[in-house]
Amino acid sequence: MTNEQKRQVREALIRYVNTFESQTAAANSLHDISASTISQVKNNNWELLSDRLWQHIARQVGFYTGQDIMELQPADTCAYLLLRILFGDAQHYGMTYGIAIGTGLGKSFTARRYTRENANTIYIACDANYNRKSFMMALLHAAGIEAKGSMPEMIGKLGYHLSEAEEPLIIFDDAHLLRDRVLHLVVLLSASFGGRTGVVIMGNDELPSRIVDGVRLKKVGYDDIYKSIGRRFITLGSLGQKDVELVCKANGVYDEEVIAHINEECSNNLHTAISMIGEYTHMKVAA
């Protein structure tokens, strides 16, 4: 990757960070990108950062990078439209939703973009390594709140922050990765703040079966989890018929044969489709 490309990614990262109350909150909204890494990029300390890490940063702040860079533009795919409607409903009416979206349909991209565009929205990417305390600390970081104190103190800080915000929303992404006790904490938080805070508990298509099986086996906390989302999941398991075409055209690919090829080869996964779009764009520019 050239220094000019890195400069563009740096600028995109700075714009992304500026949408959060703190750099730490921005870092906690990204996957495997630490606050120290953000500082290195911002301060032009690039020597120890691999091209792979640059690619990782670029994709998460809305760019594709190969030999070329383009800003990834959203398209009105089935998942993008559905999720934005649900996020808006949850935020404006204090609703709690359980959502299961198949891998590669753009749920995280949509959630991050919605968070950037809508005030008082807190996004946290869940992780299997979280225990209750580290999860709570990450959630406070994502909200721009100092993450110190006991669990009750941290919950109290979050509750005060939400009570002062107008139409707050919390999006728990990849909730299927959480351990049982941490997932149950999500439900306790939802119950505590419900009615005045929108809550979206979102994961891939493993999430509903895990919850339903937990209820059936009478595992502690699972009935509470299922009850909190109205005992139903809103699901979407595959791309719509026009989704790949919409993403291609939104990002500058109009050749019908190329679109058909990407649609056939992407295996129902927009991550793959976006990589193919980037490769095609680079080849077209190079030609």
The structural domains of the chain, with segments of one domain joined by +, span 1-71, 78-236, 239-287
Question: Could you tell me the end-to-end alpha-carbon distance of the chain, in angstroms, rounded to an integer?
Answer: 19
Rg, the chain, Cα only: 20
Q: For residue 62, name the pLDDT band (cuts at 50, 70, 90).
A: low
CA 31 to CA 125: how far, in whole Å? 7
- Region 83-110: what's the mean pLDDT? 94
pLDDT exceeds 80 at position 287: no
Q: Which residue has the higher pLDDT, 194 or 208?
A: 208
pLDDT exceeds 60 at position 67: no
User: Which CATH number fits the domain 78-236, given the four candidates 3.40.50.300, 3.40.50.2300, 3.90.1150.10, 3.40.50.720?
Assistant: 3.40.50.300
- Residue 68: Cβ-neighbour burial (10 angstroms; 0-12, 13-18, 19+): middle
Helix 35-42 × helix 3-17 angle, to 10°: 130
Q: Are 75 and 247 in contact (CB under 8 A)?
A: yes
pLDDT of residue 64: 47
We find that the CATH architecture of domain 1-71 is Orthogonal Bundle (1.10)
pLDDT exceeds 60 at position 285: no
pLDDT tens by residue, 233-272: 999 999 999 999 999 999 889 999 999 999 999 998 998 8
CA 168 to CA 159: how far, in whole Å? 11
